[in-house]
């Protein structure tokens, strides 16, 4: 849960979707689809313990990190505890998967910095 740095009235909360309130929590709106993986990968390290049931296990991921642009209230990044990073540039109307290719479903995005992501990884342009 964070306040958007470019819009101090906007409080953002992640579950499997991103919620937003500008009314101090009186009303909330969902501003994203489910941003988590539809199905997790089974890591090779499971080895002989891998079962058929694992292929269809229900995912239980959440948006674990949220960051807003300090310059634009419409720009928001969301990272999940199953290794995905998404970005919106229009306040949540549309979302783009900007996950770096080196991340897997077993990676947890625990912290995001909107300015650093944009500059360091050029994620806003993918």
**Number of structural domains, the chain?**
1
| CA-closest candidate to residue 113, choices 65, 62, 74 | 65
Q: Is residue 119 in a domain?
A: yes
pLDDT at 67: 95
Q: Is residue 66 in a domain?
A: yes
Q: Is residue 118 in a domain?
A: yes
| CA-closest candidate to residue 86, choices 12, 24, 25 | 12
* Confidence grade of residue 46 (pLDDT, cut at 50, 70, 90): low
Pair 64, 108: CB distance under 8 Å: yes
pLDDT at 40: 67
Q: Is residue 34 in a domain?
A: yes
pLDDT at 124: 46
Predicted confidence (pLDDT) per residue in 48-85, tens digit: 666 777 666 666 789 999 999 999 999 999 999 999 99
Alpha carbons 18 and 13: distance in angstroms, whole number: 6
Q: What is the mean pLDDT of the chain?
A: 85
* Confidence grade of residue 110 (pLDDT, cut at 50, 70, 90): very high
Taking the model in full, what pTM does it have? Answer: 0.81
Q: Is residue 72 in a domain?
A: yes
Q: Which domain holds residue 83?
A: 2-38+58-125
pLDDT at 93: 97
Pair 92, 18: CB distance under 8 Å: yes
* Confidence grade of residue 18 (pLDDT, cut at 50, 70, 90): very high
């Amino acid at each position: 849960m964070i306040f958007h740095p470019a819009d101090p009235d906007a409080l953002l909360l992640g579950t499997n979707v991103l919620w937003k309130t500008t009314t101090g929590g009186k009303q909330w709106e969902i501003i994203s689809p489910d941003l988590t993986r539809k199905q997790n990968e089974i890591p090779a390290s499971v080895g002989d313990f891998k079962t058929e049931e694992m292929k269809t296990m229900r995912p239980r991921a959440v948006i674990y990190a949220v960051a807003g642009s300090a310059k634009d209230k419409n720009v928001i990044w969301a990272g999940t505890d199953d290794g995905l990073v998404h970005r919106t540039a229009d306040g949540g109307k549309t979302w783009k998967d900007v996950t770096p290719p080196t991340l897997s479903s077993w990676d947890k995005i625990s912290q995001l910095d909107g300015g650093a992501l944009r500059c360091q990884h050029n994620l806003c342009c993918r």
